[in-house]
Amino acid sequence: MTDSPTWKFRQMQPGEMNIDPIEAEFFSTEALGSLADALVREAIQNSLDARLPGEQLKIRVSFPQPDKVLKGERKRPYLLGLLAHLYANRSGLANLPSANEPLNYVVIEDFGTRGLQGDPSQSEDVELDAAAARNDFYYFWRNIGRSRKHAAELGRWGLGKTVFPAASRINAFFGLSIRADDRRRVLMGQAVLKIHKVQDQRFYPYGYFARFTNGFALPVEDAAPVDGFGRDFVISRRDEPGLSVIVPFPVAELTPQAVVDSIIRHYFIPIISGDIAAEVVHDGKSQLLDAQTLDRYLSQGAWDDAPRLGRLLELARWGVHLPREEYARLQAPPATKAPRWNDEYIGDDNLVSLRGRFNAGQPIAVNVPVWVKPAAGDPVPSQFDVYLERDDTLGSAEEHFVRDGITIAGVRAAMQKGVRVLVLVRDQPLSELLGDSENPAHTEWQERSPKFKDRYRHGPFTLRYVKNAPREIVRAMIRPTGDRDFDLLRHVFALDIPTEDKVKDPRKGREDKPGTEETGGTGGVDTVGRDRFFQLQKLHGGFRLTGNGDGKAMPRTAAVWVAYEVRRGNPFSQYQPPDFELDKPPIVMHIEHAEIARRGRNLLVLEIQDPHFRVTVKGFDVRRDIRVRIEASAT
């Protein structure tokens, strides 16, 4: 048995499968702006899952002062046995530190968590009953892409910890944990390379910093090396349970400012709620991020978009602390059917109240019930909350979806311009369903996720019901019911475009031939709908919408919905993306005196700049009839 810790990689045997690690690629997504985003999200997510009951989670990220980085002999014990593998041919590392470069590092610590509990000697899965404690140590250090977390927890894939080596130029990290149950201090490290050769010997990609018994890696627990490790890396943990992760030689983009930005953007809800307090230590000073200090930080002008973020925090704080009896509660869709949006779920009384507040620029809070239907089991009632406010200063919609405190950055509701929306999912059944649908980086809800598919009845419909909730609530509020709502100044009409073979040129008394329309006028087209503001004309494979020239009351915006005609039912509710998508070929558009505010699926939202505007849309199937509906705002 070796008492002194060292780095070791397992020598591969002939005939072994050759597989290089690829797990870091799961966190290369456009929804995450940087590696700092991925590191912050996954580190805090793992800590939230390990939080002790009733405890506030405290996160501390430390960047050392220049005199605290490790040089010369001070860094040697932590690279012992590793350097030959780092510099081996095909190790997969491209930006290795030089031999004399000081060992810089970042320390990420959590407090108020249980630490890495469990038997450190466990080397394979053990079947335990539901009441037995799970082995956090085993799943953290000895598994990749495998997790035994409960469904209610944030992590599912067992990949979150892979961002720690990905944030290091040597693809390595250390972890020192104090365990809540037995107060043992356990220290290990891990490096993730590629299959590589050292002195003609082939080595496995994963190596450990540990003490070894018959080649099996065990944590360092002796007081002297553990105390020395804590001093060398300036770890603030004393006897508090939790986990301290050290990232050696961090990548250049992992800066204090990037960490602060990521904490606020991705965890503002649990910070506002008081569930998380974060501290970032750098340059001899500490930046505290909690419910009391967020506004002060933004007021210091650290971000160009600080005013917008400030308004988002105001909406979030207002909604989180609003008494439940002041929410507008909607009706639940039927438990026996796939959930689809219906204005009747909102109710006339709710609409009157919500419209007035929304149009006045005041925030609104809506509680939306929905059924969660496991494939094997009875439907379970659940719910989520939607906070909305109108903000005409927004150049586009601002949408935020949050599940159990973490922002799901890649989810969008295709909202109209000028609306800020925050969707919070905190109820366990729905949170489990959405978590099962998430990708490893927890940035998207995916209907075809292998952990989601076939696990729920009407699962994809439930996903869409949650994602589309803000858009449908706003649509219901701006759509008149009964008498015209003069406060909202809404103008709505729907026009049918007749079948292609029924269109005739009224000037020539004959059927229009495909392709004969003139680009400069209305020759070869027929006006099939007209009202005070708009004129709708039929084209071969499309339509043209123009203004009637009434500049006194011309609507500012117009939403144009398009669908193929159906034999029965509402063609718009039966639209499917395979029919066409307005932002994809073969659909083409020509627009004059208007701008596109939003375009996607079967919806086109226009900002009208002149009462003589003109929009031509073509590329539809000429063998099918088209229905067009225009919803316009005169405000």
Query: Tell me: the pLDDT tens digits for 405-419?
Result: 888 988 888 777 789
pLDDT for the residue 524: 43
Check pLDDT > 60 for residue 223: yes
Q: For residues 316 and 274, is the Cβ–Cβ distance under 8 A?
A: no
What does the pLDDT look like over 152-183, one tens digit per residue?
Answer: 444 443 456 788 998 999 999 999 999 999 99
Closest CA to 413 of 451, 468, 490, 364: 468
Q: For residues 109 and 101, is the Cβ–Cβ distance under 8 A?
A: no
Confidence of residue 550 (pLDDT cuts 50, 70, 90): low
Other Cβ atoms within 10 Å of 257 Cβ, number = 13
The H or E element spanning position 529 is strand 526-530
> What is the residue type of 76?
R
Report the C-alpha gap between 442 and 406 in whole angstroms. 8
Instruction: Tell me the average pLDDT across 217-243.
Output: 96
Confidence of residue 277 (pLDDT cuts 50, 70, 90): very high
Percent of the chain exceeding pLDDT 70 equals 83
- Those residues whose C-beta lies under 8 Å from the C-beta of residue 135, and which sit 6 or more positions away, are 117, 118, 119, 122, 126, 148
Q: For residues 490 and 553, is the Cβ–Cβ distance under 8 A?
A: no
Most confident of the following: 45-49, 148-152, 356-360, 468-472: 468-472
**DSSP per-residue codes, 531-580:** -SSEEEEEETTEEEEEE----SS--SEEEEEEEE--SSS-TTTT--TTT-
Question: Which residues on adjacent β-strands are paired with residue 422?
Answer: 387, 400
Instruction: Tell me the average pLDDT across 41-60.
Output: 91
Instruction: Tell me the average pLDDT across 48-63.
Output: 94
pTM of the predicted model over 0.85: no
Q: For residues 144 and 162, is the Cβ–Cβ distance under 8 A?
A: yes
Spell 135-147 as b/e; 16+ CB within 10 A means b: bbbbbbbbebeeb
Instruction: Tell me the average pLDDT across 432-450.
Output: 85
Instruction: Tell me the average pLDDT across 64-79.
Output: 95
Q: For residues 398 and 258, is the Cβ–Cβ distance under 8 A?
A: no
Other Cβ atoms within 10 Å of 300 Cβ, number = 8
Fold of 6-303: Heat Shock Protein 90 (3.30.565)
- Those residues whose C-beta lies under 8 Å from the C-beta of residue 158, and which sit 6 or more positions away, are 139, 143, 144, 145, 146, 147, 149
Check pLDDT > 60 for residue 274: yes
Query: What average pLDDT is seen over the chain?
Result: 84
pLDDT for the residue 479: 65
Confidence of residue 634 (pLDDT cuts 50, 70, 90): low
Other Cβ atoms within 10 Å of 233 Cβ, number = 22
CA distances from 33 to 38, 165, 453 (A): 8, 18, 28
Domain spans of the chain, in order of start: 6-303, 316-478, 490-633
Sign of the alpha-carbon torsion through 181, 185, 186, 187: positive
pLDDT for the residue 504: 37
Check pLDDT > 70 for residue 134: yes
Helix (H, G, I), strand (E, B) or coil at 384: strand
State both tokens at 371. Answer: 């059924």
pLDDT for the residue 222: 95
Top pLDDT among 498 and 475 is at: 475
Top pLDDT among 420 and 553 is at: 420
Q: For residues 340 and 465, is the Cβ–Cβ distance under 8 A?
A: yes
Cα 399 to its chain centre, rounded Å, is 10
Check pLDDT > 90 for residue 519: no
Of 41-55, 294-308, 577-591, 621-635, the poorest mean pLDDT is in 294-308
Closest CA to 116 of 211, 184, 57, 60: 184
Check pLDDT > 50 for residue 58: yes
CA distances from 330 to 73, 87, 206 (A): 66, 61, 52
pLDDT for the residue 401: 95
pLDDT for the residue 488: 34
Q: Which residue has the tokens 């103008």?
A: 491
> What is the residue type of 368?
V
Task: Look up the CATH architecture of domain 490-633.
Answer: Sandwich (2.60)
pLDDT for the residue 152: 43
Confidence of residue 508 (pLDDT cuts 50, 70, 90): very low
Check pLDDT > 50 for residue 150: no
Closest CA to 292 of 304, 308, 276, 307: 276
Instruction: Tell me the average pLDDT across 380-398.
Output: 90
Check pLDDT > 80 for residue 344: yes
